[in-house]
Amino acid sequence: MQRPQTDDVQSFLLALQARICQALEQADGAAQFVCDTWQREEGGGGQSRVLTQGQVFEQAGVNFSHVSGDRLPPSASAHRPELAGCRFQAMGVSLVIHPHNPYVPTSHANVRYFVAERDDAEPVWWFGGGFDLTPYYGFEEDAVHWHTVAREVCRPFGEQVYPNYKQWCDQYFFLKHRQEARGIGGLFFDDLNEGGFERCFALTQAVGNGFLDAYLPIVERRKAHSWGVRERQFQLYRRGRYVEFNLVWDRGTLFGLQSGGRTESILMSMPPLARWEYGYQPEPGSDEAALYERFLPVRDWVSP
Protein backbone atom coordinates (compact mmCIF):
# COMPACT_ATOMS: atom_id res chain seq x y z
CA MET A 1 0.00 0.00 0.00
CA GLN A 2 1.31 3.45 -0.90
CA ARG A 3 2.42 5.68 1.95
CA PRO A 4 0.04 8.56 2.64
CA GLN A 5 1.24 12.01 1.56
CA THR A 6 -0.32 14.12 4.28
CA ASP A 7 1.37 17.37 3.24
CA ASP A 8 -0.02 17.07 -0.29
CA VAL A 9 -3.54 16.57 1.06
CA GLN A 10 -3.25 19.60 3.32
CA SER A 11 -1.98 21.79 0.47
CA PHE A 12 -4.90 20.74 -1.73
CA LEU A 13 -7.45 21.39 1.01
CA LEU A 14 -6.17 24.89 1.79
CA ALA A 15 -6.13 25.79 -1.90
CA LEU A 16 -9.66 24.38 -2.30
CA GLN A 17 -10.94 26.47 0.60
CA ALA A 18 -9.42 29.64 -0.87
CA ARG A 19 -10.76 28.92 -4.37
CA ILE A 20 -14.31 28.23 -3.19
CA CYS A 21 -14.39 31.35 -1.01
CA GLN A 22 -13.20 33.51 -3.89
CA ALA A 23 -15.84 32.08 -6.23
CA LEU A 24 -18.64 32.54 -3.69
CA GLU A 25 -17.64 36.15 -3.04
CA GLN A 26 -17.76 36.80 -6.77
CA ALA A 27 -21.18 35.15 -7.06
CA ASP A 28 -22.51 37.16 -4.13
CA GLY A 29 -21.16 40.48 -5.39
CA ALA A 30 -21.37 42.31 -2.06
CA ALA A 31 -20.08 40.50 1.05
CA GLN A 32 -16.70 38.98 1.83
CA PHE A 33 -15.57 36.10 4.00
CA VAL A 34 -14.19 36.83 7.47
CA CYS A 35 -11.32 34.51 8.39
CA ASP A 36 -11.08 33.09 11.91
CA THR A 37 -7.97 31.00 12.69
CA TRP A 38 -8.11 28.75 15.74
CA GLN A 39 -5.97 26.27 17.66
CA ARG A 40 -7.06 23.09 19.38
CA GLU A 41 -5.53 22.33 22.76
CA GLU A 42 -5.31 18.58 22.12
CA GLY A 43 -3.51 19.12 18.81
CA GLY A 44 -4.01 20.90 15.54
CA GLY A 45 -6.36 23.68 14.59
CA GLY A 46 -8.07 25.21 11.62
CA GLN A 47 -9.36 28.17 9.72
CA SER A 48 -13.04 29.08 9.56
CA ARG A 49 -14.20 31.46 6.85
CA VAL A 50 -17.72 32.82 7.15
CA LEU A 51 -19.72 35.19 4.94
CA THR A 52 -22.89 36.71 6.38
CA GLN A 53 -25.70 38.94 5.12
CA GLY A 54 -24.50 39.08 1.56
CA GLN A 55 -26.53 40.04 -1.46
CA VAL A 56 -27.14 36.40 -2.44
CA PHE A 57 -25.98 34.38 0.55
CA GLU A 58 -27.53 34.85 3.97
CA GLN A 59 -24.71 32.78 5.41
CA ALA A 60 -21.91 30.73 3.90
CA GLY A 61 -19.18 28.98 5.84
CA VAL A 62 -16.12 27.20 4.45
CA ASN A 63 -14.03 25.48 7.13
CA PHE A 64 -10.58 23.93 6.99
CA SER A 65 -9.47 21.84 9.96
CA HIS A 66 -6.45 19.66 10.72
CA VAL A 67 -6.70 18.06 14.13
CA SER A 68 -4.79 15.27 15.85
CA GLY A 69 -5.08 13.30 19.04
CA ASP A 70 -4.01 10.27 21.01
CA ARG A 71 -7.30 8.38 20.77
CA LEU A 72 -9.57 8.10 17.74
CA PRO A 73 -13.12 9.18 18.76
CA PRO A 74 -15.86 6.50 18.79
CA SER A 75 -17.67 8.05 15.82
CA ALA A 76 -14.58 7.54 13.63
CA SER A 77 -13.85 4.00 14.79
CA ALA A 78 -17.43 2.67 14.82
CA HIS A 79 -16.88 0.88 11.49
CA ARG A 80 -13.25 0.03 12.32
CA PRO A 81 -13.27 -1.25 15.92
CA GLU A 82 -9.72 -2.53 15.56
CA LEU A 83 -8.54 1.10 15.41
CA ALA A 84 -10.23 2.21 18.64
CA GLY A 85 -7.73 4.07 20.79
CA CYS A 86 -5.24 4.74 17.98
CA ARG A 87 -3.47 8.04 17.48
CA PHE A 88 -5.04 9.96 14.62
CA GLN A 89 -4.89 12.90 12.27
CA ALA A 90 -8.01 14.23 10.57
CA MET A 91 -8.18 17.04 8.06
CA GLY A 92 -10.80 18.33 5.72
CA VAL A 93 -12.74 21.16 4.14
CA SER A 94 -16.44 21.39 4.92
CA LEU A 95 -18.87 24.00 3.66
CA VAL A 96 -22.53 24.89 3.95
CA ILE A 97 -24.26 27.68 2.01
CA HIS A 98 -27.63 29.15 3.03
CA PRO A 99 -28.90 31.64 0.41
CA HIS A 100 -31.44 34.42 1.01
CA ASN A 101 -33.66 33.55 -1.93
CA PRO A 102 -35.84 30.47 -1.25
CA TYR A 103 -35.51 29.50 -4.92
CA VAL A 104 -31.73 29.08 -4.52
CA PRO A 105 -30.97 25.75 -2.81
CA THR A 106 -28.91 25.27 0.29
CA SER A 107 -25.81 23.24 -0.46
CA HIS A 108 -23.21 21.27 1.45
CA ALA A 109 -19.87 19.79 0.46
CA ASN A 110 -17.10 18.05 2.35
CA VAL A 111 -13.81 16.34 1.58
CA ARG A 112 -11.82 14.76 4.39
CA TYR A 113 -8.84 12.55 5.15
CA PHE A 114 -8.02 10.39 8.17
CA VAL A 115 -4.87 8.65 9.30
CA ALA A 116 -4.83 6.26 12.26
CA GLU A 117 -1.46 5.21 13.64
CA ARG A 118 -0.17 2.50 15.94
CA ASP A 119 3.40 1.79 16.97
CA ASP A 120 3.26 -1.83 15.79
CA ALA A 121 1.70 -1.35 12.35
CA GLU A 122 1.64 0.73 9.20
CA PRO A 123 -0.64 3.80 9.28
CA VAL A 124 -4.23 3.17 8.21
CA TRP A 125 -5.66 5.97 6.08
CA TRP A 126 -8.90 6.70 4.26
CA PHE A 127 -10.72 9.49 2.44
CA GLY A 128 -14.34 10.58 2.51
CA GLY A 129 -16.52 13.34 1.19
CA GLY A 130 -19.19 14.35 -1.28
CA PHE A 131 -21.68 17.09 -2.02
CA ASP A 132 -25.48 17.31 -1.76
CA LEU A 133 -28.22 19.79 -2.63
CA THR A 134 -31.21 20.85 -0.53
CA PRO A 135 -33.76 22.79 -2.59
CA TYR A 136 -36.85 24.40 -1.13
CA TYR A 137 -38.52 24.78 -4.52
CA GLY A 138 -37.56 22.12 -7.02
CA PHE A 139 -36.59 22.57 -10.67
CA GLU A 140 -36.00 19.56 -12.91
CA GLU A 141 -33.34 21.47 -14.84
CA ASP A 142 -31.35 22.13 -11.68
CA ALA A 143 -31.59 18.57 -10.41
CA VAL A 144 -30.47 17.13 -13.74
CA HIS A 145 -27.54 19.56 -13.92
CA TRP A 146 -26.46 18.79 -10.34
CA HIS A 147 -26.44 15.04 -10.88
CA THR A 148 -24.91 15.28 -14.35
CA VAL A 149 -21.89 17.09 -12.89
CA ALA A 150 -21.71 14.51 -10.09
CA ARG A 151 -21.73 11.69 -12.64
CA GLU A 152 -19.02 13.30 -14.78
CA VAL A 153 -16.82 13.93 -11.74
CA CYS A 154 -16.91 10.21 -10.98
CA ARG A 155 -16.72 8.83 -14.53
CA PRO A 156 -12.89 8.66 -14.84
CA PHE A 157 -12.79 6.36 -11.81
CA GLY A 158 -15.27 3.77 -13.06
CA GLU A 159 -18.85 3.58 -14.32
CA GLN A 160 -20.17 2.28 -11.00
CA VAL A 161 -18.68 5.02 -8.86
CA TYR A 162 -21.47 7.55 -9.46
CA PRO A 163 -24.42 5.17 -8.94
CA ASN A 164 -22.77 3.73 -5.82
CA TYR A 165 -21.98 7.13 -4.30
CA LYS A 166 -25.39 8.51 -5.26
CA GLN A 167 -27.09 5.61 -3.52
CA TRP A 168 -24.88 6.09 -0.48
CA CYS A 169 -25.79 9.79 -0.43
CA ASP A 170 -29.51 9.04 -0.70
CA GLN A 171 -29.23 6.66 2.23
CA TYR A 172 -27.04 8.90 4.38
CA PHE A 173 -28.89 12.22 4.04
CA PHE A 174 -32.17 10.72 5.19
CA LEU A 175 -34.06 11.79 8.30
CA LYS A 176 -35.14 8.45 9.73
CA HIS A 177 -37.39 10.05 12.34
CA ARG A 178 -39.26 11.85 9.51
CA GLN A 179 -38.92 9.11 6.89
CA GLU A 180 -37.89 11.88 4.55
CA ALA A 181 -34.85 12.83 2.45
CA ARG A 182 -33.02 16.02 3.33
CA GLY A 183 -32.78 17.04 -0.32
CA ILE A 184 -32.08 15.58 -3.76
CA GLY A 185 -28.74 14.03 -2.82
CA GLY A 186 -25.57 13.99 -4.85
CA LEU A 187 -22.44 12.10 -3.81
CA PHE A 188 -21.31 10.59 -0.53
CA PHE A 189 -18.40 8.27 0.19
CA ASP A 190 -16.37 7.24 3.21
CA ASP A 191 -13.64 4.75 4.21
CA LEU A 192 -12.09 5.10 0.75
CA ASN A 193 -8.67 3.44 0.39
CA GLU A 194 -9.29 0.93 -2.39
CA GLY A 195 -6.91 1.21 -5.33
CA GLY A 196 -4.09 2.97 -3.50
CA PHE A 197 -3.41 6.42 -2.19
CA GLU A 198 -2.94 8.19 -5.53
CA ARG A 199 -6.26 7.00 -6.96
CA CYS A 200 -8.20 7.78 -3.79
CA PHE A 201 -6.64 11.22 -3.47
CA ALA A 202 -7.38 11.95 -7.14
CA LEU A 203 -11.03 10.97 -6.73
CA THR A 204 -11.34 13.14 -3.61
CA GLN A 205 -9.79 16.08 -5.46
CA ALA A 206 -12.22 15.60 -8.34
CA VAL A 207 -15.19 15.73 -5.98
CA GLY A 208 -13.90 18.83 -4.20
CA ASN A 209 -13.09 20.61 -7.45
CA GLY A 210 -16.43 19.65 -8.99
CA PHE A 211 -18.57 21.35 -6.37
CA LEU A 212 -18.47 24.84 -7.90
CA ASP A 213 -19.31 23.46 -11.36
CA ALA A 214 -22.36 21.78 -9.87
CA TYR A 215 -23.62 24.63 -7.68
CA LEU A 216 -22.82 28.02 -9.18
CA PRO A 217 -24.87 27.63 -12.40
CA ILE A 218 -27.92 26.92 -10.24
CA VAL A 219 -27.24 30.00 -8.14
CA GLU A 220 -27.00 32.13 -11.28
CA ARG A 221 -30.29 30.77 -12.67
CA ARG A 222 -32.31 31.32 -9.49
CA LYS A 223 -30.86 34.25 -7.55
CA ALA A 224 -33.04 36.88 -9.26
CA HIS A 225 -36.26 34.85 -8.94
CA SER A 226 -38.94 36.93 -7.17
CA TRP A 227 -40.19 35.67 -3.82
CA GLY A 228 -42.33 36.80 -0.90
CA VAL A 229 -43.44 35.98 2.64
CA ARG A 230 -44.94 32.60 1.72
CA GLU A 231 -41.73 31.35 0.11
CA ARG A 232 -39.61 32.69 2.98
CA GLN A 233 -41.75 30.97 5.58
CA PHE A 234 -41.51 27.66 3.73
CA GLN A 235 -37.75 28.05 3.39
CA LEU A 236 -37.40 28.63 7.14
CA TYR A 237 -39.64 25.63 7.87
CA ARG A 238 -37.56 23.36 5.65
CA ARG A 239 -34.36 24.71 7.21
CA GLY A 240 -35.64 23.13 10.40
CA ARG A 241 -35.12 19.75 8.75
CA TYR A 242 -31.52 20.73 8.07
CA VAL A 243 -31.01 21.46 11.76
CA GLU A 244 -32.63 18.16 12.76
CA PHE A 245 -30.38 16.14 10.49
CA ASN A 246 -27.17 17.84 11.56
CA LEU A 247 -27.88 17.48 15.27
CA VAL A 248 -29.40 13.99 15.25
CA TRP A 249 -27.79 12.03 12.41
CA ASP A 250 -24.67 13.71 11.00
CA ARG A 251 -21.47 11.77 11.78
CA GLY A 252 -19.27 14.76 10.99
CA THR A 253 -20.96 16.87 13.66
CA LEU A 254 -20.63 14.01 16.13
CA PHE A 255 -16.95 13.48 15.31
CA GLY A 256 -16.18 17.17 15.74
CA LEU A 257 -17.82 17.32 19.14
CA GLN A 258 -16.35 14.00 20.33
CA SER A 259 -12.85 14.99 19.25
CA GLY A 260 -12.95 18.24 21.19
CA GLY A 261 -13.26 20.35 18.06
CA ARG A 262 -14.18 24.00 18.04
CA THR A 263 -17.92 24.11 18.64
CA GLU A 264 -18.40 27.46 16.91
CA SER A 265 -16.91 26.05 13.70
CA ILE A 266 -18.68 22.69 13.95
CA LEU A 267 -22.09 24.36 14.26
CA MET A 268 -21.35 26.87 11.51
CA SER A 269 -23.43 24.58 9.28
CA MET A 270 -26.62 25.68 11.02
CA PRO A 271 -28.85 28.19 9.20
CA PRO A 272 -28.98 31.66 10.75
CA LEU A 273 -32.79 31.41 10.96
CA ALA A 274 -35.17 28.43 10.98
CA ARG A 275 -38.65 27.65 12.27
CA TRP A 276 -40.86 24.71 13.19
CA GLU A 277 -44.62 24.38 12.73
CA TYR A 278 -46.74 21.66 14.32
CA GLY A 279 -48.44 19.35 11.83
CA TYR A 280 -47.62 21.38 8.73
CA GLN A 281 -49.06 20.07 5.46
CA PRO A 282 -48.45 21.78 2.11
CA GLU A 283 -51.43 22.87 0.07
CA PRO A 284 -52.30 20.17 -2.50
CA GLY A 285 -51.09 21.04 -5.97
CA SER A 286 -48.77 23.80 -4.70
CA ASP A 287 -45.07 24.27 -5.44
CA GLU A 288 -44.42 23.37 -1.81
CA ALA A 289 -46.24 20.06 -2.24
CA ALA A 290 -44.22 19.37 -5.40
CA LEU A 291 -41.02 19.33 -3.34
CA TYR A 292 -42.34 16.37 -1.33
CA GLU A 293 -43.94 14.60 -4.27
CA ARG A 294 -41.39 15.02 -7.08
CA PHE A 295 -38.03 15.95 -5.61
CA LEU A 296 -37.48 14.39 -2.18
CA PRO A 297 -38.31 10.81 -3.23
CA VAL A 298 -35.21 9.07 -4.60
CA ARG A 299 -34.95 9.39 -8.37
CA ASP A 300 -32.55 8.66 -11.18
CA TRP A 301 -31.91 12.16 -12.52
CA VAL A 302 -29.47 11.43 -15.32
CA SER A 303 -30.62 8.35 -17.22
CA PRO A 304 -32.71 9.01 -20.34
Q: With respect to residue 175, please indicate whether it lies within any of the assigned structural domains.
A: yes
Q: Rounded to an integer, what is the distance from CA 168 to the centroid of its chain? A: 13
What is the CB neighbour count within 10 angstroms for residue 7?
8
Q: Which residues contact 227 (CB under 8 A, 6 or more apart)?
A: 101, 102, 103
- Convert the pLDDT of each residue in 82-124 to its tens digit: 777 778 889 999 999 999 999 999 999 999 999 988 777 778 8
The annotation places the binding site for substrate at: 94, 110-112, 260-262
Within a domain: 207: yes
Residue 96 placed within a domain? yes
| Ramachandran category for residue 26: left, alpha or beta (phi over 0 → left; psi -120 to 50 → alpha) | alpha
d(CA 56, CA 100): 6
Q: How many domains does the chain have?
A: 1
Give per-residue pLDDT as tens, 199-247.
999 999 999 999 999 999 999 999 999 999 999 999 999 999 999 999 9
Average pLDDT over residues 164-169: 98
Annotated binding site: 94, 98, 108, 110-112, 147, 177, 260-262
Lowest mean pLDDT among 9-13, 42-46, 223-227: 42-46
| Helix 161-172 × helix 140-154 angle, to 10° | 130
Asked about 145 being catalytic, the answer comes back as: no
Which residue among 100, 108, 145, 225 is the active-site one? 108
Asked if residue 173 lies in contact with residue 188, where contact means CB atoms within 8 angstroms, the answer is yes
Please give the residue range of the domain that contains residue 267.
6-295
pTM of the model: 0.92
Assign residue 107 the CATH number of its domain. Answer: 3.40.1500.10
Note whether 35 and 229 are within 8 A (CB). Answer: no
Q: Is residue 300 assigned to a domain?
A: no
Question: Is position 301 within any domain?
Answer: no
Residue 304 domain-assigned (yes or no): no
